[in-house]
Amino acid sequence: MIEVPVPLGERSYRIIIAPGLLAQLGEQLRALTPNRRLAVVVDDRVAAPHLDRLRAGLAGFEVVPLPVPAGEGSKSFRQLERLIDSLLALEMKRSDVVLAFGGGVVGDLTGFAAAILKRGMHFVQVPTTLLAMVDSSVGGKTGINTTAGKNLAGAFHQPLAVFIDPELLETLPEREMQAGYAEIVKYGLIADRAFYHWCEENAAHLLAHDGDALVHAIAASCRAKAAIVGRDEHETGDLRALLNFGHTFGHALEAETGFGDRLLHGEAVGIGMAEALRFSAMLGFSPAADAERFAAHLQSLGMRAWPGQAGIARTAAAQLLAHMQNDKKREAGGLPFILARGIGDAFVARGIKPAEVEKFLESDLRH
């Protein structure tokens, strides 16, 4: 069992990583809450293979499942309202615990509902996808999408704990594994060249569900994110902003494809990181060889590295730029970009002109 602390003073909590942890979940939760009723938010893709296993691990608790539809569409005001109404119908108290059992969509939706219901309820994360295990379940960012863009309504609300059982990944489709891998390799790209090298050497084993590789990658990712969150919880400085590497491009790609299964979040981030490296090279910050190296790495794993490979039209540069202008990270002086001086050395770049971005996109979309 690996424990990773998230140091946030009175809001500190632990990330616990262990194969088979689901069977011990009741024991872990009894140490966190005296209450024995749990509202479990779960999507239909996760409920079928895993809900009975969760119930078995929560012996002694009354488990009340609250189903939500699978997919990015559930990060909506409609589903948020439905979830809040369901929790109120259960007469949940502020001291009760809501358990998010699913991927990033379920975690983000559950966390936001817990943040605003009765001005703040307890919740725990039990992520079931690789992406959620290494990124979205950690750090307290919660939220939903709006018609204007991704994650534009939300709150910072830390969980009581994050419980990660890598055995839950045994039923995860290859495409979802690849989407999660994009968020793993991100930690190497932004600040840890040695970990990036490890990823290049071990990604194929990780994607093939090698247990040792998975545990190492999950633990390394959680440690990296916990360290950043502990120093810049609310992204008031530039440190936590580095975690958005590839996301400005990626969110624009998601918006252009309708926030659906056509392009998963992690897939968009993978392409977005490749674009961020190519844009960095175009601006003279980074060696072009690093951008080529990363794109080749993605494609060696069967992943996409160019917008055209995701079906983005060659004429979409203006639309993508417009999506970026709606990004929640936009500042008075414009939209900051997370760029790189090379693999393992990301930084926040300000003063980037929209014309430069559009020129880059027009070139990138021709590939």
Residues 6+ apart with CB under 8 A from 9: none
Q: Is 326 annotated in the active site?
A: no
* Given 122, 150, 240, 304, the catalytic residue: 240
Q: Name the E strands within the chain.
A: 2-6, 13-17, 37-43, 62-68, 97-102, 122-127, 141-146, 149-156, 161-164, 337-340, 346-349
Q: Find the catalytic residue in 72, 233, 235, 256.
A: 235
Catalytic residue among 50, 122, 186, 265: 265
* 235 has catalytic annotation: yes
Burial label, 48 (beta-carbon count in 10 A; 0-12, 13-18, 19+): exposed
In 192-346, which residue ranges form alpha helices assigned H by DSSP?
193-207, 211-231, 247-256, 265-282, 288-300, 317-325
Q: Of residues 141, 150, 278, 323, which has the active-site annotation?
A: 141
| Closest CA relative to residue 159, chosen from 229, 72, 71, 98 | 98
Please confirm, yes or no, whether 119 is among the known catalytic residues.
Answer: yes
Say if CB 304 and CB 267 are below 8 A apart. yes
Find the catalytic residue in 45, 150, 225, 323. Answer: 225
141 included as an active-site residue? yes
197 is catalytic: no
CB atoms inside a 10 Å sphere around CB 191: 19
Please indicate whether residue 75 is annotated as part of the active site.
no
Q: Which one of 50, 75, 251, 304 is the catalytic residue?
A: 251
- Catalytic residue selected from 183, 254, 267, 275: 183
Residues 151 and 108: beta-carbon distance below 8 Å = yes
The backbone torsions φ and ψ at residue 182, rounded to the nearest 5 degrees and listed phi first, read -60, -40
| Options 244, 254, 256, 267, the catalytic residue | 244
Q: Among 10, 91, 119, 353, which one carries the catalytic annotation?
A: 119
Between CA 367 and CA 363 the distance in angstroms is 7
Label the pairing between strands 13-17 and 2-6: antiparallel
| Active site (catalytic) residues | 119, 141, 183, 225, 235, 240, 244, 247, 251, 265
